[in-house]
Amino acid sequence: MTVKADIDFQKELFEAANKMRGSVAPADYKHYVLPLIFLRYLSNKYEKRRKELEQIVKDPSSDWYTEDDEMRQIIITDPDQYKAENVFVVPEEASWSYIMKNAKQPNIKEILDNAMKRLEEENPELEGILPRIYQGSNLPPENVAGLIEIFSRDVFSANTDDSVDILGRTYEYFISSFAASEGNRGGEFFTPSSIVKLLVAMLEPKSGIVFDPACGSGGMFIQSEEYAPNKHALSFYGQENVVTTVRLGKMNVLLHGINAEIRLGDSLLNDQFPDLKADYVIANPPFNQKDWGADRLSKNDPRLIGPVTNSNANYMWMQHFLYHLNDAGTAGFVMANGAMTTNVKEEKEVRQKLVDEGYIDCIVQLPEKLFFTTGIPCCLFFLSKNRDGKNGYRARKNEILFIDARKMGTLVSRKQKALSKEEIDKIAAVYRAYKYEGAEGYEDIVGFCKVATIDEVRANDYKLTPGIYVGTEVSNEDDVPFEEKMAELTQRLLEQFEESNRLQEKIKKDLEELM
């Protein structure tokens, strides 16, 4: 979700966060700023509902009407009146008015920690989401007061109808800004919005279960909910391995009116949803994870369709996604380009099975620089269990759609590109025309898209690089990440050393025989 034009104080917001420089590591800014936005959101929702109740008890046409002041007060303060409307109860000492009134007190950090504690006590479902980290931090009280002052502006108040929307978008603005400032680390909790929008536009989540086992700050869920024509037709489940990121995600989805069950744990080694079967799996898993714990997997793990290697978790992630699809589900996820061509024995074996057993539906190669890091170029993989033609889909089990979008995208900063809405729509329209029964308008476009047969893919040694099929030159630079190239070159060099040693020994032996 992008920040709309009506937030005209973005720079000021980010500069306020940057005032923390020196006392808090930049990677930790978000952990102090984002909970304040969330606190403001909870307070607004509570305040708005309280005003509604104050009107209801005075309205003779209401079921809750009463002239008894004491009874009015009981109704207005009844927690069930708030919970019934999905509003969290906010005690006085956690209300934004109380925090604002005490912002310049020397003990404001203690007041904030206590506000978080009281909110958890009143609302057990918030347990573990609200951090009590202010008092123990090096943040100067005046910097905390400055942040509170910014979020106390009228535009964020409960008196403004769109304040909740603005708070949600401000939260996302901060997440993206922090991710950009953190570079590689930022990618751990945030996927740039144009990639998320493309995945969602291609998957088309309309109703059912959405699962993201590497859910970061929850952006995939928010975009999916925004895409769905009927609100609350989707159920969201996610897993994340970092405690602080779980908090960010839970706050983010609640800010956008979404109830998502996000659990903590390593998805590959400690799957928190072992029985979940989803209509849609959508994810941006960490690329090229080494030493991820392959040796700790049971050989009877139900997710496995082939071998695993501890040198790279990419194909374990794919097996995990596939396992969690229901019998008509589709998974769309971001992947390192190297996964399309890797010759590492275990990875290639799984890739061959995914092709031969008809699970790979579509591959999209993306432009470089879409991530905040300019490192590993990436692609999108789509695995599907509806390729036999069920639920209105076309039977396409012996075909794979390849899309080469490397020439798309526009620079939005010196280091980063983004896909435009028109480009996203163009790619999604091609996939839609390809997969639906009776859909019209699909045609191969040289240099952009091509439906290849499984036999063609086999003939190309199971390589999945779109450029091989759509008719453009394949750049080895783009296809194979440095780590993989280095591993292959090192292996070749070691083999040559061995051959050299063998020849040296042979020559020495021959010379000894001549003497």
d(CA 222, CA 172): 10
DSSP code at position 129: T
Q: What angle do CA 45, 223, 46 make, to 5 degrees?
A: 5
pLDDT category of residue 155 using cuts at 50, 70 and 90: confident
Higher pLDDT, 444 or 376: 444
pLDDT at site 200:
96
Residue 7 has pLDDT above 50, yes or no: no
Cα 255 from Cα 221, distance rounded (Å):
12
**Residues 447/453/454/455 CA torsion (nearest 10 deg):** -100
What is the mean pLDDT of the segment spanning 335-350?
A: 93
Name the percent of the chain lying above pLDDT 70: 84
Q: How far is CA 465 from CA 195, 234, 340, 450, 481, in A?
A: 19, 33, 6, 12, 13
Separation between Cα atoms, residue 127 and residue 109, nearest integer Å: 20
Indicate whether 483 pLDDT > 70.
no
Query: What pLDDT does residue 178 have?
Result: 66
pLDDT of residue 473: 45
pTM for the structure as a whole: 0.80
What order do you get walking across the sheet with 278-283 strand by strand? 260-264, 234-240, 208-212, 278-283, 325-336, 378-384, 360-365, 399-404, 449-453
pLDDT confidence of residue 156: 73
Per-residue pLDDT tens digits for 81-132:
888 888 899 999 999 999 999 999 999 999 999 999 999 999 998 888 898 9
pLDDT in tens, 224-244: 999 999 888 999 999 999 888
Q: Which long-range contacts (CB under 8 A, 24 or more apart) does 308-313 make?
A: 308/346, 309/344, 309/345, 309/346, 309/347, 311/344, 311/487, 312/288, 312/342, 312/344, 312/347, 313/268, 313/285, 313/286, 313/288, 313/289
pLDDT surpassing 80 at residue 173: no
**More confident position, 82 or 6:** 82
**Which among 360, 389, 372 has a CA at the least distance from the CA of 456?**
360
Residue-wise pLDDT tens digits, 274-309: 999 999 999 999 888 899 999 999 989 999 999 999
Least confident of 317-321, 380-384, 447-451, 483-487: 483-487
Q: How far apart are CA 259 and CA 27, in angstroms?
A: 27
CA 334 vs CA 18, 84, 260, 383, 409: distances in Å: 31, 38, 21, 12, 16
With a CB cutoff of 8 Å and minimum separation 6, the contacts of 187 are 179, 371, 372, 373
Residue 184, pLDDT > 50, answer no
Mean pLDDT of 28-53: 86
- Of the two residues 399 and 503, the one the predictor is more confident about is 399
State the pLDDT at residue 62. Answer: 73
Tokens for 386, please give them.
Answer: 């509806």
pLDDT at residue 4 above 60?
no
Sequential DSSP letters for 267-301: TTTS-S-TT--EEEEEE-PPTT--S--GGGS-TT-
User: Does position 477 have pLDDT exceeding 80, yes or no?
Assistant: no
Cα–Cα distance for residue pair 132/151, rounded to 1 Å:
19
Mean pLDDT of all residues belonging to the chain: 84
The beta-strand segments (E) located in 337-394 are 360-365, 378-384
The better pLDDT of the pair 464, 6 is held by 464
